Amino acid sequence: MARTRRPLIAGNWKMNGLKADAIALAKGVADAVKQAGWTDREVLVCPPATLVSAIADAARGTGLLVGGQDCHAKPSGAHTGEIAAEMLRDAGASHVIVGHSERRTDCGETDAIVRAKAEAAWRAGLLPIVCIGETLAEREAGKTLAVLETQLEGSVPAGATAATLVVAYEPVWAIGTGKTPTTPEVAAAHAHIRKVLTGLVADAAGVRLLYGGSVKGSNAAELLAAGDVDGALVGGASLKADEFLAIAKAA
């Protein structure tokens, strides 16, 4: 049976990259994506906002997708330093990450703010990747599934569909640490996310669920094979073309 949820491998470059090196990295990934000609998976890079336009230019015609790492909820106005979803779209982005744990922690983003950002993404014609995940303390207290449920209920806007929503499960303690949950733990979290989505999204079975947290070339195949995993959100390993492409190949 044909797979209905096309895997998405997304790279989050975070606050890394100056123009020359970033374009070289994007070109390395874009050339390989073009050569592979994948129709059974999607590959996305999310550079810093300053580079979205240049990376979109470098990726044009190759099949490599480009996204933002965050957006403001409003389309314009007196919000110094912020980036509207419309600006990302105008710069060539098709996707935007919202609610990354670093933003939830560093910038105090609540589920309500994340939901408003996801709605802003829709308004601008972008596909939001809504991030959720438990802290180590929450996991050790046995609260993982309850935390995921609360975050989903608060962060996923009403009216979301499989075509307008991607969810990334990123255990906070696995981000940038080299630690990962076991594949049964990933599968259990994703099964629960899918179950909760059933009450929030009409076609929940079609929503893509990405796993994120210390994914690299050597563990990608195992993590991507866990139940209900439809791709990966990759931080550190997305800054090296070979490593990121190894993950894309494993999808």
Q: Which residues are catalytic?
A: 100, 170
| CA dist 226 → 139, 186, 210, 220, 231 (Å) | 19, 7, 11, 10, 10
User: Which x/- pattern over 50-89 shows residues binding ligand PEP (rule: CB under 6 A)?
Assistant: ----------------------------------------
| CA dist 50 → 22, 92, 94, 100, 157 (Å) | 11, 12, 16, 19, 28
CB of 180 to ligand PEP, least distance (A): 9
For ligand PEP, which residue has the nearest CB? 235
Encoded tokens for 173: 């303690």
Residue 99 binds ligand PEP (CB under 6 A): no
List the one residue from 152, 209, 215, 251 that touches ligand PEP (CB under 6 A).
Answer: 215
Q: How many CA atoms lie within 13 A of 209 on its CB side?
A: 28
Encoded tokens for 99: 């609610």
Quickly tell me which residue has 């800054």 as its tokens.
239
Q: How many whole angstroms separate alpha carbon 115 and alpha carbon 110?
A: 9
47 CB contacts (<8 Å, ≥6 apart)? 13, 17, 22, 26, 55, 66, 69
- Give the interface segment with ligand PEP, choosing from 32-40, 78-86, 120-128, 208-216 (CB under 6 A): 208-216
List the one residue from 212, 224, 229, 251 that touches ligand PEP (CB under 6 A).
Answer: 212
The maximal CA–CA distance of the chain, rounded, in angstroms, is: 51
List the one residue from 70, 170, 228, 230 that touches ligand PEP (CB under 6 A).
Answer: 170
Quickly tell me which residue has 């965050």 as its tokens.
70
H or E element, residue 98? strand 95-98
- Please state the length of the chain: 251
Which CB sits closer to ligand PEP, 62 or 238?
Answer: 238
Residue 213 binds ligand PEP (CB under 6 A): yes
Q: How many CA atoms lie within 13 A of 19 on its CB side?
A: 4
Which CB sits closer to ligand PEP, 86 or 113?
Answer: 113
Size of interface with ligand PEP, in residues (CB under 6 A): 13
Q: How many whole angstroms separate alpha carbon 152 and alpha carbon 138?
A: 16
- Give the interface segment with ligand PEP, choosing from 36-44, 114-122, 189-197, 230-238 (CB under 6 A): 230-238
List the one residue from 113, 167, 196, 233 that touches ligand PEP (CB under 6 A).
Answer: 233
Residue 235 binds ligand PEP (CB under 6 A): yes
Residue 234 binds ligand PEP (CB under 6 A): yes
Residue 176 binds ligand PEP (CB under 6 A): yes
| Residues of this chain that bind ligand PEP (CB under 6 A) | 12, 170, 175-176, 212-215, 233-237
